[in-house]
Amino acid sequence: MRRLADYPAFISEILELTDYLLANLETKTFSVGEGMPVSLEQYGCYTREEVFSIFKRQTADKRMQGSVAGIFNIEELNTELFFVTLNKSDKDFSAETMYNDYVVSENEFHWESQNTDSHQGKGKRFVEQKKNGKKFLLFVRENKKDGFGNTCPFICFGLVDYIRSKDDKPMKINWQTHQPILPKFINAV
């Protein structure tokens, strides 16, 4: 870094480029807030492992063990994390996990629970969100893999609130997002 001081024109150009890029960001992130970790940002782009690190479930010395389903509970925050892939393929998902999840509008998301949830059973926690003070945090990606075969990261859609639901095993639930859903996901509707 000290060597760069010998090249003031280069430094000036880098600062100008940085200012331009910051002024023209397509998506600006900000803290999710509401009791969530400070490092978790609305519209931030994360791998599942990065999310687990933010919630201190994974460190350099401790990795998550076993398979992690689309829902993960953070007990001390009374929060559940939802990991959703919109475009599911037979190759990557079993028939039991081909849930029909999609964006309804700028502030509404349709999600299907695990196929064991019902309104009278474990799914009651969704419906009674206001009563039990539970928080639900939604992470979404369009595809599991990109065109090069790499695992795609999730976008933090942020906190969501229960609106309505129907059916059981799985439950079909509509959620209200606290912040607008990014336009690139709305265009896919």
Domain span at 110 = 28-186
Give the chain's count of helices (H) and strands (E). Answer: 5, 10
- The verdict on residue 2 lying in a domain is no
Residues in contact with 169: Cβ distance below 8 Å, sequence separation at least 6, in sequence order: 115, 116, 117, 118
Residue 126 counted as domain residue:
yes
Closest by CA to 102, choosing from 118, 78, 79, 86, is 86
Q: Assess if residue 67 is contained within a domain.
A: yes
Q: Indicate whether 115 belongs to any domain.
A: yes
**Domain-located, residue 145:** yes
Cα angle: 187, vertex 88, 139; to 5 degrees: 65
Cβ neighbours, 10 Å, residue 118 = 15
pTM of structure: 0.85
15 located within any domain: no
Measured CA to CA in angstroms, residue 160 lies from 18, 27, 61, 168 at distances of 33, 20, 32, 20
- Is 179 a domain residue? yes
Q: How many domains does the chain have?
A: 1
pLDDT per residue rounded down to tens, the chain (189 residues): 788 889 999 999 999 999 998 888 778 899 999 999 999 999 999 999 999 999 998 877 877 655 567 899 999 999 999 999 999 876 666 666 778 999 999 999 999 999 999 999 999 999 999 999 999 999 999 999 999 999 999 999 999 999 999 999 999 999 999 999 998 888 655
**Residue 156 β-bridge partners:** 139
Q: What is the pLDDT of residues 15-61, one digit of tens each?
A: 999 999 888 877 889 999 999 999 999 999 999 999 999 999 887 78
Task: Indicate whether 13 belongs to any domain.
Answer: no
Residue with tokens 């979404």: 140
H helices of 24-90, where? 48-54
